[in-house]
Amino acid sequence: MPNLSKALLTDSKVFGNFKKYRYLTHMSNIKEALMLRKALLLFGLIALLGCAHAKPADTPLVAPGDLSYEELHTTERFRKYKSVGIRLFDVGEVSFLSTNAEERTEMEAFKLSANNHLIDGFLKEMGDHKFYPTIGVANTKEEAAGYDLIIEGKFIQFDRGTRGARYLGTGGWTNVTVAGTMTETATSKVVVKFRDIKYGKGGSFGGDSMDLLRNNCNEIGKNISDFLEEVY
């Protein structure tokens, strides 16, 4: 009986398929190696970009401009703070603008929920940054004392704007204005005074005023978080 292996290898058609198989296997290994290399390079690039946001400790501290007004009372970067707490902003003296008698009830209800939208924006953005190990809401002065840095503030005004004007592109923007401080709890030193205002410029048929106001509050929370990232 002839040697089967020898017969297969001497058959030109079979041998040609064998060489083709070896070639395809070789090319597959090369492709896998290239894909692995690309994946490792991409992972390294992502890691570098993540680190790039954290400025060196000796970088001079300047107002980053994330909030409408920023007044710094320290030259030290904020990375020494391992925990940051935020208190509910006071709504006791907030003004309602562009609000008629019928809309006032709706605005009074919104006043009670405004903190939810601001703090939600703040916490979600802080969670994305991941710089400060501990982030939380301080509902009492006792809880506030447990954080290295505490943020406090008040709502200054809620302006409903005018939907018709927004629709026509002639103004009528909503806006929310807040003022606040950031205090180092160990020394009771106010290290930052700030003020922020966010506008709602429209949406479908000028956008719903209440939806825009809710978004304004959320954006202010994000701005406070972005400020803390920049001064870290």
Q: What is the domain extent for residue 11?
A: 4-52
Q: Which of 1-10, 31-40, 109-118 has the lowest mean pLDDT?
A: 1-10
Model pLDDT for residues 161-181, shown as the tens digit of each residue: 999 999 999 999 999 999 999
Return the CATH number at 142: 3.40.50
Give the count of domains, the chain. Answer: 2
- pLDDT single digits (tens) 84-132: 999 999 999 999 999 999 999 999 999 999 999 999 999 999 998 889 9
Euclidean distance between CA atoms 232 and 148, whole angstroms: 13
pLDDT(18) > 80? no
Question: What string of DSSP letters covers 86-138?
Answer: EPPPB-TTPEEES--HHHHHHHHHHHHHHHHHHHHHHHHHHHHH--SSEEEE-
pLDDT at 31: 56
64 belongs to a structural domain: no
Strands (E), the chain: 69-72, 83-86, 95-97, 134-137, 149-159, 174-184, 189-200
Give yes or no for a contact between 154 and 89, defined as CB atoms under 8 angstroms apart: yes
Shared domain for 117 and 199, answered yes or no, is yes
Nearest of 46, 229, 51, 44 to residue 128 by alpha carbon: 229
Together in a domain, 30 and 98: no
User: What pLDDT sits at residue 53?
Assistant: 57
Q: Residue 69: CA atoms inside 13 Å, Cβ hemisphere, count?
A: 10
In a domain, 39, yes or no: yes
Whether 232 shows a pLDDT value over 50: the answer reads yes
Q: Report the range of poorest mean pLDDT among 17-26, 93-102, 144-153, 188-197.
A: 17-26
